[in-house]
Structures are given as C-alpha cells and as structure tokens.
C-alpha cells in the first residue's frame, strides 16, 4: 500500500514538473525552433522532468483530482509565461522586421501570388540573426537556469500570479515592443521622408505618375537605409538580450 501511494505521489510530481518545463519547448527561443522536431522536443522535456522531479519535494502535491488538475494548469501557465517573456526579444525583432518589409512593399507579393512567403523573408532573416546572437551570449542557458530556479523559489502547486510578477512580465513585453520600434525607426523615417518628397513632386509635376514610381522609390530607399543601419542592428539586439538575461531571473523570483 505504501509503495502504491509513493508511486502515485511520484507520478503526480513528475506531471507537475513536466507541465512547468513544457513551456520551454513550446515558446522559448532556440528550444522551440521549428527546425527541432516535435518528438525531439517532447523527449527533451520528459528527460528534463525526470532529472528534476527527484529533487523536488512532493509534499505540496494535491491529492484531490480537481485540485490536481488546477495545479497542473497553473504549472503549465507558469512555464508558458516565462517562455513567452523570454521570447519577447524575438517577437520584437520579427515585429520590427515585418514593419520594414511592409514599407518595402514585400507584402504585395501575396497579392500577386498567394503561395509565396516574400513578406516573411525579412522577418525570418532578422529572427535568425537574433537567434545567433542569443545562442552566442548563452541566452538558452539563462532561460533554462531561470526555469530550473523556479523550483526553489516557487514550490509545486504554489504559483500565484501577483502584481509584482505581472509587472515583470509586462516590462519584458514592453522591452520587446521598444526593440521593434528601434529596429524599424530608421526605415520608417526614411520612407516617410521619401513619401513626403513624392507628394511634393506630384504637386509640382502632376504629369508624373508618382503612384507607380513611388513603390520602387520606397523600396529602394528602405533597402538602402536598411543596409546602412544593419551594422547597428546586432548591438541593438545584443543589448536587448542582455537586458533579458538580467530581468528573467528577477521574473522567476517575483513569482
């Protein structure tokens, strides 16, 4: 009878640990990359859970089925929130690149040929650039260490999203949005000036079809400014990732 209870408690502990770690392999940068097969990610999550579960006390695991399901949902929510906060930098990079691609007219490719992914080329490039910087700075180790550290600060079935935790999540999300604006700002400003210049040209020389010429001019200006500002993009992403590395452990302690 004692062995059956011990087995049940150990299995429940393993499930709760697995639920908290699952977010790493769903949204965390690098670990959730589409190039990694889903089966490999699932196996890695199970291996991590098996390594962590013996060191986590199962005293707080609820025995009632309803309470256990609620605790399981809270553990999954905690892991997902931490992974999403870690991915805020990549979301900001892709958002900024999407704005640039839209201003360059790459999004028009889907209008003429819906099967192409021309509007995803630039965000994909910047995503890979951010991933290289992230892995080079050891960001994947920081994310894993942060999630592992929650087992010491937040016991199983003991997570409660307070104001301090939500404020930390909001701060990281805001940093990602600010990164998007900084990445897209040079191109947006240059395209705005080019648009104003084309509008003034249209007023002074109405015979010129600025609508057809404007698309090429906007693309050329955006591409030129993007190439000129590309050297400053990597340090900008690097500073955002360093900021993430500093704030992510604070986020896990805030919970």
State the pLDDT confidence band at 198, using cuts at 50, 70 and 90. confident
Longest dimension (CA), the chain: 92
The answer to whether residue 135 sits within a structural domain is: yes
Higher-scoring residue by pLDDT: 125, 164: 125
According to the model, what pLDDT value does residue 253 have? 60
The answer to whether residue 5 sits within a structural domain is: no
According to the model, what pLDDT value does residue 120 have? 63
**Mean pLDDT lowest among 19-23, 100-104, 107-111:** 107-111
The answer to whether residue 104 sits within a structural domain is: yes
Q: Of all residues in the chain, what percent carry a pLDDT higher than 70?
A: 81
The answer to whether residue 178 sits within a structural domain is: yes
The answer to whether residue 72 sits within a structural domain is: no
State the pLDDT confidence band at 93, using cuts at 50, 70 and 90. confident
Q: How far apart are CA 104 and CA 123, in angstroms?
A: 12
The answer to whether residue 13 sits within a structural domain is: no
Average model confidence (pLDDT) across the chain: 77
Higher-scoring residue by pLDDT: 40, 245: 40
The answer to whether residue 53 sits within a structural domain is: no
Looking at the predicted structure, is the pLDDT value of residue 108 above 80?
no
**Alpha-helix runs per DSSP H in the chain:** 2-22, 38-52, 65-86, 88-104, 109-112, 121-136, 139-153, 163-204, 210-229, 233-254
Work out the end-to-end distance of the chain between its first and last CA atoms, rounded to an integer number of angstroms: 36
Looking at the predicted structure, is the pLDDT value of residue 154 above 70?
yes
The answer to whether residue 23 sits within a structural domain is: no
Q: How far apart are CA 149 and CA 39, in angstroms?
A: 25
State the pLDDT confidence band at 79, using cuts at 50, 70 and 90. confident
Number of domains forming the structure of the chain: 1
Structural tokens at position 147: 């999630």
Domain around 109 = 77-254
Structural tokens at position 25: 């392999």
For the segment 126-148, the average pLDDT, to the nearest whole number, is: 81
């Amino acid at each position: 009878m004692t062995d059956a209870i011990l087995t049940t408690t150990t299995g429940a502990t393993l499930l709760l640990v697995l639920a908290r770690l699952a977010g790493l392999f769903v949204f965390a940068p690098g670990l959730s990359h589409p190039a990694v097969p889903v089966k490999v990610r699932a196996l890695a999550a199970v291996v991590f859970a098996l390594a962590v579960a013996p060191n986590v006390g199962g005293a707080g695991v609820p025995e009632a089925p309803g309470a256990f399901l609620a605790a399981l949902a809270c553990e999954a929510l905690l892991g997902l929130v931490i992974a999403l906060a870690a991915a805020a930098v990549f979301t900001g990079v892709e958002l900024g690149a999407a704005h640039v691609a839209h201003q360059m007219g790459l999004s028009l490719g889907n209008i003429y040929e819906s099967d192409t992914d021309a509007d995803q080329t630039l965000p994909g490039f910047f995503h890979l650039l951010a991933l290289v910087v992230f892995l080079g700075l050891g960001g994947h180790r920081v994310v894993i260490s942060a999630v592992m550290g929650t087992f010491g600060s937040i016991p199983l079935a003991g997570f409660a999203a307070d104001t301090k935790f939500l404020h930390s999540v909001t701060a990281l999300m805001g940093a990602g949005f600010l990164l998007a604006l900084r990445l897209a700002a040079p191109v947006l400003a240059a395209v705005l000036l080019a648009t104003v210049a084309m509008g003034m040209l249209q007023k002074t020389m109405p015979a010129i079809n600025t609508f057809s010429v404007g698309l090429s001019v906007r693309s050329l200006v955006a591409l030129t400014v993007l190439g000129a500002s590309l050297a400053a993009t990597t340090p900008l992403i690097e500073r955002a990732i360093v900021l993430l590395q500093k704030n992510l452990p604070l986020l896990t302690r805030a919970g």
